[in-house]
Amino acid sequence: MEKRLIVKIDEEKCTGCGKCVSPCAEGAIKIINGKAKVVSEELCDGMGYCIGICPEGAISIEERHTVAFNKEKAEAQPKKPDLAIHCFKCGAGEDTHYLIPIRHKMESLWVCTRCIPTLIHG
């Protein structure tokens, strides 16, 4: 056990939409009985990449005692592309483009690096 940052999911707010599952490259989050759960704390690196994805604001980061992050095990998790993730402007998928999570008008969206300049410069 060690004290470190780890993701916390508020079950009251979570709707079980599943949007946080694929963005977690380490495979630490799964939907169980309609709620997102950190199924294996050793797979959560506490980077909080999933926070911006959640449309309900159900995910936060807390510092507490837990098992150490297991990098080898996290890297060994099966990786598969998620076809539900694509650029909201041009529709490009993660198989061909770099996608970045953004927030706009209280919505969680993905945008590709090609479309970002048009968001910045209008």
Question: Which residues contact ligand SF4 (rule: CB under 6 A)?
Answer: 9, 14-20, 36, 53-54, 56, 58-59
Among 8, 4, 10, which residue's Cα sits nearest to residue 63?
A: 4
Binding residue (CB under 5 A) for Zn ion from 87, 99, 108, 110: 87
45 touches 66 (CB < 8 A): no
The listed partner (ligand SF4, Zn ion, none) that binds 15, CB under 5 to 8 Å by sort, is ligand SF4
Cα–Cα distance, 5 to 66 (Å, whole number):
9
- 74 binding Zn ion? (CB under 5 A): no
Give the interface with Zn ion as residue ranges (CB under 5 A): 87, 89-90, 92, 112, 115
